[in-house]
Amino acid sequence: MSSWDWQVYCRDTVSGEQVAGCFAAAPDQTYLQWMLHAWGWTITVSLGGLAVALVVGSIIGVLRTLPNSPGWVRFGNAWVEFFRNIPLLVQIFIWYYVVPDLVPGADSVSPTLLVIAGLGLFTSARVAEQLRSGIQTLPKGQRYAGMALGFTTAQYYRYVLLPMAYRIILPPLTSESMNIFKNSAVAFAVSIPELTQFYLQAGEETGAQSEIFLGVLAVYILSAMLVNRVMSFIERRLRVPGMVAPTAGAGGH
Amino acid sequence: MNLDLSFFSWDIFKAFALKGLYYSLFLTAVATAGGIIFGTLLALMRLSGRKLLDYPAAFYVNGMRSAPLVMVILGFYLLVPKLIGRPIGAEFSAIITFIAFEATYFSEIMRAGIQSIPRGQFYAGQALGMSYAQQMKLVVLPQAFRNMLPVLLTQTIILFQDTSLVYAIGAYDMLKGLETAGKNYGRVKEAYLVAAPLYFVICFTLSAAVKRLHKKIAIIR
């Protein structure tokens, strides 16, 4: 590696010529534009997956703490163990290759949606686990107070337990949101044109492996930082005065 | 509905996937051992209180932790041959990558472990005339290690799942072995369906064992 060739980002992807200003006109695109496009895919898959994970994870997390419903608790626990103990890559393969065969109607669903479902359900297990521990961290009296006020189960979850539990788990949710951006890289294996896929293709096309690698890495780090900023903004806005949230665990990815 | 799992038998598993399973387990073991050793060193650098040691370690750890593992695996495999001028095997490349990558995760665990040891333990070591290295080696690290053992093992299970990502560079792990078997019999989709329960059984058994161990060794305070 004798010298860096950062000009590669301003090259046209078809003709290979340098484009002034790094942005080519409509039908053509430079490698920089291609990378931004790929970033868009990474963001789409990640945010889509995050949405699925938050919705499903919340439902499962609540099910696991329901009083007097051992059936639902067992279902929730099984859900978490199931999605947590199979590698993400295998889950993505199953969503992409097997589900369209197995589930009627799923073969007309776009691959992107299948990958989003895979990434989302994988992450839902982690969200569910966090929400469960968040709810169980709350003093039992909070639940009883809700009952004493005549709230139904749904009501005391909605108005008493969940508002506090979500605040408690915001720090681990932050790292989970950053994880999902990293985990979305696995989507390259099923040909989603996201950043890792861009790195493989553009790196090979241009021969500028190192430059493209560092560029893509920088975009991943930037994404993680952006997510972190957004989450800490949310955390500040929602903070209850005098309440300290526990810190996130050190392991994971 | 044209899935047919009947092609899969113990003979097929032995012929194609067993070698891969051994590699997956070997990669897990080596990356765990190497990761813990280098991770502990990184943690000690970060806690040394010397900027010259702390900053490079922090840069390395935070850099690695913000990159997706697949990218690191691919990057190492594609970039290192350009640096050293000759190709390296996918299996060997994955081993180096996993040690380098997992060391950063283990370092965060060990850092938390060391920080969980009360200051009094250091002072007790000092009072006995121990050097900093002795305090660490004889007093702090054994306790930190014991406190963190369940977390370290949980990370190892995650690591085992992550070994499937060597798929990206074509290294022959369990997933690749099953896929190869599937390709030979025209049943790739079924191979993925077989891979899922195999990984599940291994990981679920291990995490149950970790839970049991956690109960056994937890220090009552």
Whether A247 maps to a domain, the answer reads: no
**Residue B3 has what pLDDT?**
72
Q: What is the CATH number of the domain that holds A174?
A: 1.10.3720.10
Residues 6 or more apart whose CB falls under 8 angstroms from that of A153 comprise A66, A67
Domain that holds residue A163: 37-238
The reply to whether A62 falls in a domain is yes
Closest residue in A to B204 (Cα–Cα): A85
Of A36-40, A157-161, B93-97, B185-189, minimum mean pLDDT range = B185-189
**Predicted confidence (pLDDT) per residue in B41-77, tens digit:** 999 999 998 999 999 999 999 999 989 999 999 999 9
Average pLDDT for A199-215: 90
Residue A182 has pLDDT above 80, yes or no: yes
Q: Looking at CA atoms only, how far is residue A233 from chain B in angstroms?
A: 20
Its pTM stands at 0.89
Taking an 8 Å cut-off on Cβ atoms, the answer to whether B65 and A253 are in contact is yes
| Interchain CB distance below 8 Å, B151 and A250 | yes
Residue A253 lies in a domain: no
pLDDT band at A248 (very low <50, low <70, confident <90, very high): very low
The reply to whether A191 falls in a domain is yes
Instruction: Inspect the interface and report whether the beta carbons of A85 and B3 lie closer than 8 Å.
Output: no
Classify residue A228: in a domain, yes or no: yes
* Nearest chain B residue (CA) to A102: B1
Which of A178-192, B7-21, B114-128 shows the lowest per-residue confidence on average (mean pLDDT)? B7-21
Considering chain A, what percentage of its residues have pLDDT values greater than 70? 94
Would you say residue A160 lies in a domain?
A: yes
Tokens of A105: 């109607």
CB of A105 less than 8 A from some CB of B: no
A94-131 pLDDT per residue, tens = 999 999 988 888 888 899 999 999 999 999 999 999 99
Q: How far, in whole angstroms, is CA B196 from its chain's centroid?
A: 20
The structural domains of chain B, ordered by start, are 7-217 (1.10.3720.10)
pLDDT of residue A104: 84
Distance between B128 CA and the closest CA of chain A, angstroms:
32
Which residues on B lie below 8 Å from A249 (Cβ)? 151
Smallest Cα distance from B140 to chain A, Å: 19
| Residue at A51: amino acid letter | A
What total of structural domains would you count in chain A?
1
Instruction: Average the pLDDT over A143-158 and give the result.
Output: 94
Inter-chain touch B204–A216, beta carbons under 8 Å? no
d(CA B217, CA B148): 11
Residue A30 within a domain:
no
Contact A220 B188 (CB under 8 A): no
